[in-house]
Amino acid sequence: MTAVFTGYLRRLGLVARPAPDRAALNELMARHMQTVPFENLDIVAGSLQPLSTEAALQKVAERGRGGFCYELNEAFRALLDHVGFTVRRIEARVWQATARQFGAPFDHLALVVSLPEGEYLVDVGFGDSNRAPMRLPEDRVQDVSGQYRLAPVRDGYLCLSSNSQPLYEMTLAEQPLHAFESMYGYHQRSPESVFSKGLICTRATASGRISLSGNRLIITDCGRRTETLATDVSAVLDEHFGIRDGRKAGPG
């Protein structure tokens, strides 16, 4: 298993295991979001994946792939644990703008990291979101992707918002991985899941974001947005996301 984490750190551009401190947490989160894409290629291909730490690590650390929240944050949780951080899973419910309500419990998997300075919300699996840990229970950060606020909203619940629009609400109780299995299965199988609507692949860059939505390649750089049609989706996945044979998603 040590070799898996060595490969994981190498993918993030690190040759040595960092110390489990705030500076390293910031760097690991930023590097992860700029390297490992948020993507649903397996779901679009109809390749159902198991929910396990081993499967998530294999996908991210060994196969050079990305994933969605359950996979990305579970792999990152294992990496943080390996580095020496105290980290736990939490469940969250994603804001559904059309319905004007939050989704079901365990709709999203996020992380809480405990440091001597306090506890921090850490999330590398939401796509376009904050790139640095946010201190619990209340914090504000601003980066190239927007302004973010974390605050309590009612007893036991906190909400993460972006530019005054809710992203998700959460509870802070530690959750076992198996508690997410039902919603993980829903998002892989249900035609009502946003992940079944079409290909999504996106990652942060130092000055913006690169996204592939269906066959639309969208690049945001220093606030300037360009959109082009991708004539060869596989080539775009390779060039911009390091994913080879993306149309043949699945194990191996």
pLDDT of residue 98: 87
Looking at the DSSP assignment, which residues form a beta bridge with residue 29? Answer: none
Q: Phi first, then psi: what are they for 107, rounded to 5°?
A: -70, -20
- Asked if 159 and 138 touch (Cβ cutoff 8 Å), the reply is no
Q: What is the mean pLDDT of residues 126-142?
A: 95
215-231 pLDDT per residue, tens? 999 999 998 999 999 99
103-115 pLDDT per residue, tens? 999 999 999 999 9
Q: What is the DSSP letter of 62?
A: I
Q: What is the mean pLDDT of residues 44-65?
A: 95
Cβ-proximal residues to 45 (8 Å cutoff; 6+ apart), any chain: 247, 248, 249, 250
Longest dimension (CA), the chain: 50
pLDDT of residue 252: 44
Catalytic residue among 32, 82, 108, 187: 108
Grade residue 246 by pLDDT with cuts at 50, 70 and 90. Answer: low
Look at residues 214, 196, 218 and name the one whose alpha carbon lies nearest to residue 205: 218
Catalytic residue among 42, 107, 123, 139: 123
Grade residue 245 by pLDDT with cuts at 50, 70 and 90. Answer: low
Q: Is 123 a catalytic residue?
A: yes
Name the average pLDDT for the chain. Answer: 94
Q: Phi first, then psi: what are they for 237, rounded to 5°?
A: -60, -40
Q: In CATH, what number does 2-248 get?
A: 3.30.2140.20
Catalytic residue among 32, 69, 82, 187: 69
pTM of the entire structure? 0.95
Look at residues 123, 54, 52, 60 and name the one whose alpha carbon lies nearest to residue 88: 123
